[in-house]
Chain A
Amino acid sequence: MLKNNTKAVTAEETRPDQAQQQIAIATDGWGTHIRAAIVSTIALVAILCGAYPLIVWGISQAIFPHNANGSLVYSADGKTVIGSELLSQAFAGEQYFHPRPSAAGSGHDPSSSGGTNLGPTSDKLLNGIADDPATADTDESYAGIKHLSEAYRKTNGLAVDAIVPADAVTRSASGVDPHISPANAKLQAARVGRSRGLSEADVLLIVEANTDRASFGFLGEPGVNVFMLNLALDRVKQ
């Protein structure tokens, strides 16, 4: 319907003077732009902010209700929501696998997501900050990677100079990274098994079942979903 506008002006077909005659070039009526700007904004809002998200919402609620609503996990009786497959929770107990350290809110808070945003040479990141004894009522201490790796070795009964997986002692980007690396999970398996009275081999089987492999075998990195793993362990016990 609008073919006449640019087609007519290719160099080979038309001499400049003819092109001028064929096409009306408006230079007046600047005011029409104001109306066009306002009305098109409103019309596009209706399409892009009304119709588009609503249609995506309608289709996704119909086809992928579980995924569209946050991949929620329900309690054994199916009545209450206890978490999301996609988000980590804070676990510190002996009997649980521990997620990566978190900088989200006061720890693993998905509504206040965030990393440390500390530079790689930051002293705070590496060596942390000690509590200032002068201010008794506030705690200024901050666990550096040094403390995180010491704590990790101690918790899991490793030698004081043991090499640990990088992901175990660094804080993730989101602070709610649901995964730990398989190597990290393997180092924690003995402790979890001991505290639950399960053999390490049995625990590793459950770890295996809760490992998300790289998609199609090559996209992304494998990871063990900590929340799902701990849930599976709890449900084994019951």
Chain B
Amino acid sequence: MTPNGWFQLALYLGVLLLLARPLGVYMAAVYEGVPSRWRRPGEVVERWMYRLCGVDPAEQMTWTRYAYGVLMFSVVSFLAVYLIQRCQALLPLNPQQLAAVTADSSFNTAISFMTNTNWQGYGGEVTMSYLSQMLALTVQNFVSAAVGMAVLVALIRGFRQTGTTGLGNFWVDLTRGTLYILLPLSFILALVLVSQGVVQTFSAYQTVPLMEAATTADGKTITEQTLPLGPAASQIAIKQLGTNGGGFYNVNSAHPFENPTPLSNFLQVLSILLIAAGLCHTFGVMVKDSRQGWALLAAMLVVFVPLTVGCALLEQQGTPQLAALGADLTASNLHPGGNMEGKETRFGIANSALWATATTAASNGSVNAMHDSFTPLGGLIPMWLMQLGEVIFGGAGSGLYGMVMFAIVTVFIAGLMVGRTPEYLGKKIEAYEMKMASIAILAPCAMVLVGTAIALMCTGGKATIFNPAVHGFSEVLYAVSSASNNNGSAVAGLGANTPFYNTLLGVAMLIGRFLTMLPVLAIAGSLSQKKHVPASAGTLPTHTPLFVVLVVAIVIIVGALNFFPALALGPIVEHLQMRA
């Protein structure tokens, strides 16, 4: 890579860390309900909403009641998205007159957006009307992220308070996260993106004559080009910030109308990790010990940075096959070189690799390059980042609560080593917490492995693997990993818009979302009733480099032990074949 490529990676991390702290402090203030002049107009809307909903904002909820709120809200979201897609032909704002989406595809898409996965089995331009995109999908982009953040805040309250069963009010946390965090950030980002050329219009697709008529491979002459338009910018802003990733167009942020310039690319990839990084500081502020937030953020960076650098180097190196065919793979100021298959010129190698690791470290899943065409090991990195359970930054809220589960396991294991009852943030970690944390960590892992096995044993699963042999296996593994960990990125070489995959991946997404979220809330409920144990000489401090190393080790050991055999069958074999 060129020195400029390295500089861009460093700049990215610098800006991310610089913005994370103030945003984290602000988010803590929002969830604590600290009054602010800036939010006064929003408070009017807030009060009005509580009145309509029949919610008493002062009410405190037990963990079961909080969880019931989450589930009820998710069910309503699912039904709304499902029904809108099924009826889109009858509804307005459908200038392309697209037909109703099929039942299995609607089922999959409704779960996908409700669970903050945004796996897209369909192609945006040819399936979804403007209304479906706006009404069904945009709203889920906001609220699925806000739900994740709300659950995180409930968990933090569980650590912080003693002798109560109240974890806050789900409806209040949901509303505030949406109105004061996601909405203002999206609004600013959307406008900047439009200034770069991301479209925001309600006009129908525009057909233009080609400058030079083209002849296709099968001899047909094409004289026109159809420009897909639509209200894209407003959706793209929240798809990045809310770690959703569901694009407006088929190729997501590789499409020039969705991500036209290097600046729009930088802001979009920054938005992927911004809230997740900020929430680490929110965590520190809310537990009244900033170092705790820094420690978790540091653990995430320790995993993220080397993997990003590795991915960039592997993609720049390209493949011996490309070199043999005479492609120049060395980067220079005049061309990007490297494995440019499925990558855009304006982003080159550095920005494509950075996006690939950021989008899979966070459970975003948007892409600006085609992961399917990455080199075997370059593509292994994004896949493994998802399989780590989406805890390296992870989804909005869900990433950090996943990481806290790993922190709980870490103090438990460290406690076993020295023979003391483990504590985290002054709360005793006992059998109940360990059971719940294990479920939260292992349920998505099990779904990945079992789901992949099912797909490979069924004709329905094997029918739509377009790349043969080892790469085909990698594609299935990638798809199920993506769904089970609520990431949503895809290697599109797998034809996933079939009843089989729509159903399998739909179930995987449900398990990945709720079998982590519910144990997390259960832990919050259990911890909130426990007394604070003052730190003693035997307490493992959880803000030190030693603790960071331990957490990282646990995350990697769990990820490696679970998935190394599967990865060995896919990308690793493919790498060896490529080099042979």
| Residues on A facing B (Cβ under 8 Å) | 1-7, 9-11, 14-17, 19-20, 23-27, 30, 32-41, 43-45, 47-49, 52-53, 55-57, 59-61, 63-64, 67-72, 80-87, 89-93, 96, 100, 106-122, 125-126, 138-139, 141-143, 145-146, 149, 153, 161-167, 169-184, 186, 212, 214-216, 218-223, 227, 230-231, 234
Residue of B whose beta carbon sits closest to that of A224: B345
Mask: chain B, 170-202; 1 = CB below 8 Å from A; 0 = not: 011011001100010011001100111111111
B347 within 8 A of A: yes
B206 within 8 A of A: yes
Known contacts A115-B370, A170-B340; is-contact A93 B212 (Cβ 8 Å): yes
Which parts of B231-266 form the interface with A (CB within 8 Å)?
231, 233-235, 249-251, 254-257, 260-263, 265-266
B68 within 8 A of A: yes
Q: Which residues of A contact B60 (CB under 8 A)?
A: 5, 23-26
Nearest CB in chain A: distance from B408 CB, A: 19
| A49-B172 in contact (CB<8A) | no
Known contacts A19-B162, A53-B134; is-contact A36 B212 (Cβ 8 Å): no
Q: Which residues of B contact A161 (CB under 8 A)?
A: 326
| A32-B54 in contact (CB<8A) | yes
Q: A3-B35, A166-B339, A173-B370 are in contact. List 14 more A-B contacts (CB 8 A).
A: A16-B162, A19-B162, A53-B200, A60-B200, A108-B225, A111-B126, A117-B467, A126-B325, A164-B326, A172-B344, A179-B344, A219-B8, A221-B348, A222-B334
Q: Which residues of A contact B375 (CB under 8 A)?
A: 120
CB-contact partner of A100 in B172, B190, B345, under 8 A: B345
| B256-A176 in contact (CB<8A) | yes
Q: Which residues of B contact A109 (CB under 8 A)?
A: 225-226
| A179-B227 in contact (CB<8A) | no
Q: How large is the interface on B (under 10, 10 to 19, 20 to 34, 35 or more residues)?
A: 35 or more
Q: Which residues of B contact A119 (CB under 8 A)?
A: 372-373, 376, 467, 471, 474, 493, 574
| A5-B256 in contact (CB<8A) | no
B296 within 8 A of A: no
Known contacts A9-B162, A218-B8; is-contact A121 B53 (Cβ 8 Å): no
Leading 8 A-B pairs by shortest Cβ distance: A16-B163, A220-B262, A181-B335, A221-B348, A90-B214, A173-B254, A119-B471, A179-B345
| B72-A34 in contact (CB<8A) | yes
| B77-A41 in contact (CB<8A) | yes
| B62-A27 in contact (CB<8A) | yes
Q: How far is the CA of A60 from the CA of B209 in the complex (A)?
A: 27
Q: How far is the CA of A166 from the CA of B479 in the complex (A)?
A: 28
| A166-B200 in contact (CB<8A) | no
| B58-A5 in contact (CB<8A) | yes
| B222-A177 in contact (CB<8A) | no
CB-contact partner of B194 in A11, A68, A234, under 8 A: A68
| B59-A215 in contact (CB<8A) | no
CB-contact partner of A89 in B210, B250, B471, under 8 A: B210
Of residues B8, B208, B254, B376, which shows the largest number of chain A Cβ atoms within 10 Å of its Cβ? B208
Nearest CB in chain B: distance from A36 CB, A: 4
Known contacts A5-B169, A86-B260, A89-B211; is-contact A60 B191 (Cβ 8 Å): yes
Q: Which residues of A contact B348 (CB under 8 A)?
A: 220-221
Q: How far is the CA of A198 from the CA of B80 in the complex (A)?
A: 61
| A91-B342 in contact (CB<8A) | no
Nearest CB in chain B: distance from A183 CB, A: 4
Nearest CB in chain B: distance from A100 CB, A: 7
Nearest CB in chain B: distance from A30 CB, A: 6
Mask: chain B, 37-55; 1 = CB below 8 Å from A; 0 = not: 0000001010101001111
B368 within 8 A of A: yes
Residue of B whose beta carbon sits closest to that of A16: B163
Q: How far is the CA of A15 from the CA of B201 in the complex (A)?
A: 57
Q: How far is the CA of A212 from the CA of B72 in the complex (A)?
A: 50
| B206-A81 in contact (CB<8A) | yes
| A110-B328 in contact (CB<8A) | no
Q: Which residues of B contact A69 (CB under 8 A)?
A: 199, 201, 203, 229
